[in-house]
Amino acid sequence: MIHFNADTQTFNLILHSSIYAIQVDAKGRLLHLAWGPRPVDADGVLFGKLRPAPSNHASFEFQARRDEIITFGDTTNHEVTLKASFATLPDPLPTGDAPHLPIRDVRLRYVSYEIVTDAQPGFAQTHGLPTVNSQPRETLRIKLADPVQPLTATLCYRLTPAQDIIERWLELENTGDEPIEIEQLFFATLHLPNGTAELTSVSGAWAQEFQTQREQLPIGRRVIEHRSVQTGHAANPFFLLNRPGQAWEEHGTVYFGALAYSGRWQLGFEQLPSTDVRVHGGYHPADFGLTLAAGAQHKTPTFVCGVCAEGWGGASRRLHAFTRERILPVAVADIGASCAAAPTELQEKATSLSEGADSMQEGGTVRRPATASEFRPILYNSWEATYFGITEQNQIELAQKAAAIGVELFCLDDGWFGGRRFDVAGLGDWTVSPDVFPNGLEPLIAEVNRLGMDFGLWVEPEMVNPDSDLYRAHPEWVLHFPGRPRTEARCQLILDFGREEVVAYIFNALDSLLAQYNIAFIKWDMNRNVSEPGSVAGKAIWQAHVAGVYGIIDRLRAKYLHLTIESCAGGGGRVDLGILGRTDQVWPSDNTDALDRVRIQEGFSLAYPARVMTAWVTHEKNHQTGRFHELSTRFDVAMRGALGIGASLNGLGEAELKTYASYIAFYKRIRHIVQGGDLYRLERLEEAGASTILYVLPDGSEVVYSVVVHSHKLGQFRRMVPLRGLIPSATYEVLDRFEKVRLTAVGYELMVQGIPGDEDGRSGHSRTLHIKQKKLEKSR
C-alpha cells in the first residue's frame, strides 16, 4: 500500500512487514526518511507525521543529505546516482554567469506523483508469458524536473508487499531540443541506517562461482562489479547488509538487493564518515555513455531491494519466493492449470499447441512436455559423457539408458553443428553437421520423444570462431577496434550485437532450428569475457549487447511457447534476476565435484531459488577435480536443486543404473518440496564444515532434510540440528529413499532436537530424507 500525507508531503510504502518512507522537503527535494522492518499488525506505524527539522551536518560533509536521487553538480562530494551534461545555457543567463559549456550539474525538484498498476521497468520481458503470480502491483512514480534544464527524472517504486520487496528504477526524459549526455546512471541509490556495514556477497571464478564472503565495510567505498557484457563469474549482483553482530542466519535486520540486469554492472557500497551507508546499483560507470536525444526517454532496469527481521535466511527466502512467483516465466503447458491470469491469446496458443503437436503424440494421447511444467524436469546432459565425440549412435544409446532410469529431458551439448569437432571452429554456423549427424537430428529427436523425453540442444549464439563460415563471410561482425588486434579466448570472438543485422542473423538461425526440429529446451551458453569492445553502437554496446540477447530470447519464447531455456555462461557467468525473467533454470558452475558444488550451492542460495539451480550427477572420479565421491554424495548434492545427470550411462552396469533409477524415483517424490518449498540453511559450511538444509512446503506438511558433511575431524562428533518451519503439534514421519519410516516424531520435537543419524558423519557423508505430516492426522 502507498500512503501519501499531503500536509507533510510524505510517502509511506507499506509492505507486509517493512516500511519505506520518503518526503519532499521545503525546497522541493526528494529526501529519504526511513526504511526498515515494521510490526505486521501495526496499522498506525507511519513516518513523516511531522516535517523533521533540516539536519545540520557540519563542515566539509556537504552531501550528508539523503537525497533519493543523488545528482552530480549540486554539492557533490560523494558518489552520485546520475551525472549528465547539458549543451545549452539557461535562458536567460543570469547576470554575471559565464557561459561554461557543457553544464555538468543536475538539480531535480518535485513536480508530481502518480500511483499506477501497469508500470514496467527498462529491459522488462516482452515474451508475454505470465508468471506464477501475475496480479497487478502498485508502482509509485515520483516525477522530478530540473528547474532550468530540459531533463525530467521519474523515480519508480514497484511494491511486492508479500515479499517486502521494492523494485526501484529510474526513467529519464529529455524535454528539450538538444541531446543530453548521460555520463553515469545507477538504477537507484539506497540509503541504509547508519552502521549497516556488514556486507555479505559472493566472489568467484570459473569453476568456483558463488563463494560466500562476509566483510565489514570500510569508511569509504567498496564495489562489487563485472566489466564484461554478461553478469560474470567473479562477482554476482546481489548483497545482504546488516549491522555487524546484529544479524545471523535466522535473526536480525537484514537489507538485501539484487540487480535485474545481465550486462556490465556495479554495486557500490559507500560508508560516509557519519557511518551512513549508501548503496548505488546499476550500469557500470566506467566507459558508460548514453546520449538522450531531443524528446527521448530512457528507462533503467530494476534494482530489487528489501528488508526483513529474520536474518540472512529471511532475506534469501523473500528473494526466492519473489523469483519463483514474479520473475520466472511460466511455460505454456502450465497456463491453463496454474495461471488464470494468463492472457487469452496465450491460452489459445497453448491449446492449439497441445492439440496440434504431432511429435508429442504418444499412442493417441497428447504428452504434456515435461519441460513446460511447474517444476523443472530431470535432465540428462551428454557433455561430460561424450564431449566432442558425439555420434548419432552414442547419443541414442545414452538417451535409451537415460529414459530407462527416469530422465525427462535429454540435452545434446556442444559439437553438433558446422565444423565444430573441437572448440577451435564452427561457432556461428548453426546448422546440423552432416559429419556427425548424416541423417540430420531427426532420428535422435524422434527416438528421444519416442522414449517419452523432451529434446534439448546446446547453443552459444553470441559467439563466432574465426574458423567458421560466418566469420569468413563477415569478419566485421565482431567486437573490435579498427587497426587493433582481436583477442581470442577459447578460440572465439564476440559478435557485435550493436548491429541489427547480426541480431537478426542469430534470431533467424535459432528460429530455423526451432521451426525444423521438435526442440523443447535450449542451453544458451556464453564462454568468454569481452575484450576490445569496439562496436558500431559505440559506448552504447554495453546496453545493446544485453538488449540483443534479451530480445532474441523474448522473441523465441513468444513464438515457441513450450520452449524452456537454461542460462549458462561457462558455468555460472550469467545468473541474475534479469536473465531469470526469460529463462527457466541456470547452470551455476562447470565444477561438478559434489563437495565443491555444495559450497557453490550455499552461496547461490543466498539469492536464487533451488528451482533454477541445476546440478548433475557425474562420474565417480570427477572430471574437474579428479576426486572420488560416492554415488550417494553425488545424488544428495545434485538433488538439492533441479536434478540432472551428466555421467556416461553407457559405461555403467545394470546394478548401478538401478541405483540411479531409485534415486531419480525418490527425487520425483520430493521435487515439489525442493523446487517449491521455503529453504532454511540449518548448518552452513562456514561454521559447521557441513551443510544441512531444509525445504519446507508453505503449509508445513512436507519437508526435505538434506545434509552433506564437507570436512570432519576424526573423533569429533557433530551435533544434531534442530529443524525449522514445521507445525509444532503435528506428527511427522521421516522417510528414507526407499520410503522406509526411520522415525516418527512430533514437529516440536524435531524443531528442538533434530533428527539422529548424522552425528558421526565423516567427510562426504550425506543424507536426504523426506519428512511428511502423517496422513490420518492431516485429514482430521
Please give the Cα distance from 445 to 454 (Å, whole number): 8
* Identity of the residue, 122 or 644, whose beta carbon is nearer to ligand GLA in the bound complex: 644
> Which of 105, 554, 590, 636 is flagged as catalytic?
590
DSSP letters spanning 642-653: EEEE-S-GGG--
Beta carbon of residue 319, minimum distance to ligand GLA (angstroms, whole number): 24
Residues in the chain, how many?
780
* Identity of the residue, 541 or 612, whose beta carbon is nearer to ligand GLA in the bound complex: 612
Burial status of residue 343 (CB atoms within 10 A of its CB: 0-12, 13-18, 19 or more) = middle
Beta carbon of residue 381, minimum distance to ligand GLA (angstroms, whole number): 7
Question: Of 95-103, 352-360, 564-572, 741-749, which part binds ligand GLA (CB under 6 A)?
Answer: 564-572
- Chain positions 421 to 440 lying near ligand GLA, rule: CB under 6 A, are 423
If one asks whether residue 570 binds ligand GLA (CB under 6 A), the answer comes out as: yes
Other CB atoms within 10 Å distance of the CB of residue 393:
10
Beta carbon of residue 415, minimum distance to ligand GLA (angstroms, whole number): 8
Which residues, 6 or more positions from 257, have their beta carbon under 8 angstroms from its beta carbon?
190, 238, 239, 267, 279, 281, 303, 304, 305, 306
Question: Of 125-133, 243-251, 565-573, 608-616, which part binds ligand GLA (CB under 6 A)?
Answer: 565-573
What percent helix, strand, coil does the chain show, rounded to 5? 25, 30, 45
Q: Are 506 and 470 in contact (CB under 8 A)?
A: no
Question: Of 143-151, 194-202, 528-536, 566-574, which part binds ligand GLA (CB under 6 A)?
Answer: 566-574
- 586: helix, coil or strand? strand
* Identity of the residue, 414 or 593, whose beta carbon is nearer to ligand GLA in the bound complex: 414
Beta carbon of residue 15, minimum distance to ligand GLA (angstroms, whole number): 38
Cell of 526: 556464453
If one asks whether residue 568 binds ligand GLA (CB under 6 A), the answer comes out as: yes
Nearest to 425 by CA among 387, 476, 463: 463
Beta carbon of residue 211, minimum distance to ligand GLA (angstroms, whole number): 18
* Identity of the residue, 313 or 571, whose beta carbon is nearer to ligand GLA in the bound complex: 571
Burial 45-77 (b: 16+ CB within 10 A, else e): ebbbeeeeeeeeeeeeeebbbbbbbbbbbbebe
Radius of gyration of the chain (CA): 27
If one asks whether residue 646 binds ligand GLA (CB under 6 A), the answer comes out as: no
Query: What residue is closest to ligand GLA based on CB?
Result: 414
Adjacent-strand bridge partners of 452: none
DSSP letters spanning 64-130: GS-BSS-BSSTT--S--SEEEEESS--SSPPTT----SSB-----EEEEEEEES----TT---S---
Beta carbon of residue 150, minimum distance to ligand GLA (angstroms, whole number): 47
Please give the Cα distance from 270 to 658 (Å, whole number): 55
Please give the Cα distance from 417 to 433 (Å, whole number): 5
Beta carbon of residue 420, minimum distance to ligand GLA (angstroms, whole number): 9
If one asks whether residue 48 binds ligand GLA (CB under 6 A), the answer comes out as: no
If one asks whether residue 190 binds ligand GLA (CB under 6 A), the answer comes out as: no
276 a catalytic residue: no
* Identity of the residue, 37 or 426, whose beta carbon is nearer to ligand GLA in the bound complex: 426
* Identity of the residue, 423 or 511, whose beta carbon is nearer to ligand GLA in the bound complex: 423
Q: Are 618 and 682 in contact (CB under 8 A)?
A: no
Beta carbon of residue 209, minimum distance to ligand GLA (angstroms, whole number): 11
* Identity of the residue, 249 or 460, whose beta carbon is nearer to ligand GLA in the bound complex: 460
Question: Of 133-141, 340-348, 563-571, 622-630, which part binds ligand GLA (CB under 6 A)?
Answer: 563-571
Count of residues touching ligand GLA (by CB under 6 A): 12
Helix (H) or strand (E) holding 472, with range, is: helix 469-473
Which residues, 6 or more positions from 41, have their beta carbon under 8 angstroms from its beta carbon?
none
Please give the Cα distance from 400 to 517 (Å, whole number): 19
> Which of 525, 584, 596, 758 is flagged as catalytic?
525
* CA atoms within 13 A of residue 99's CA, in its CB half-sphere: 6
Residue choice 314, 369, 418, 571 for contact with ligand GLA (CB under 6 A): 571
* Identity of the residue, 413 or 429, whose beta carbon is nearer to ligand GLA in the bound complex: 413
If one asks whether residue 527 binds ligand GLA (CB under 6 A), the answer comes out as: yes
* Identity of the residue, 105 or 414, whose beta carbon is nearer to ligand GLA in the bound complex: 414
Please give the Cα distance from 333 to 223 (Å, whole number): 42
Question: Of 74-82, 241-249, 567-575, 611-619, which part binds ligand GLA (CB under 6 A)?
Answer: 567-575
* CA atoms within 13 A of residue 158's CA, in its CB half-sphere: 20
Beta carbon of residue 423, minimum distance to ligand GLA (angstroms, whole number): 6
If one asks whether residue 328 binds ligand GLA (CB under 6 A), the answer comes out as: no
Beta carbon of residue 523, minimum distance to ligand GLA (angstroms, whole number): 7
Beta carbon of residue 585, minimum distance to ligand GLA (angstroms, whole number): 13
Beta carbon of residue 25, minimum distance to ligand GLA (angstroms, whole number): 51
Which residues, 6 or more positions from 345, have their beta carbon under 8 angstroms from its beta carbon?
none
If one asks whether residue 525 binds ligand GLA (CB under 6 A), the answer comes out as: yes
Please give the Cα distance from 737 to 769 (Å, whole number): 7
- Chain positions 359 to 418 lying near ligand GLA, rule: CB under 6 A, are 383, 413-414
Site string for ligand GLA, 83-122 (x = CB under 6 A): ----------------------------------------
590 a catalytic residue: yes
* Identity of the residue, 14 or 459, whose beta carbon is nearer to ligand GLA in the bound complex: 459
φ, ψ of residue 661 to 5 degrees: the values are -60, -40
* CA atoms within 13 A of residue 358's CA, in its CB half-sphere: 2
- Chain positions 446 to 505 lying near ligand GLA, rule: CB under 6 A, are 458
Other CB atoms within 10 Å distance of the CB of residue 135:
11
Q: Are 478 and 531 in contact (CB under 8 A)?
A: no
Question: Of 449-457, 568-576, 593-601, 672-680, which part binds ligand GLA (CB under 6 A)?
Answer: 568-576
Nearest to 188 by CA among 75, 68, 327, 77: 68
- CA distances to 120, 129, 164, 374, 740 from 329, in Å: 16, 6, 21, 10, 37
If one asks whether residue 609 binds ligand GLA (CB under 6 A), the answer comes out as: no
DSSP letters spanning 324-367: IIIISPPPGGGHHHH-TTS-HHHHHHHHHHHHH-GGGEETTEEP
Distance of CA 387 to the CA centre of its chain: 28
Nearest to 720 by CA among 695, 740, 750, 742: 750
* Identity of the residue, 121 or 456, whose beta carbon is nearer to ligand GLA in the bound complex: 456
If one asks whether residue 590 binds ligand GLA (CB under 6 A), the answer comes out as: yes
* Identity of the residue, 414 or 678, whose beta carbon is nearer to ligand GLA in the bound complex: 414
Beta carbon of residue 515, minimum distance to ligand GLA (angstroms, whole number): 24
* Identity of the residue, 260 or 568, whose beta carbon is nearer to ligand GLA in the bound complex: 568
Binding site for ligand GLA (CB under 6 A): 383, 413-414, 423, 458, 525, 527, 568, 570-571, 587, 590
Catalytic residues, which ones?
A: 525, 590
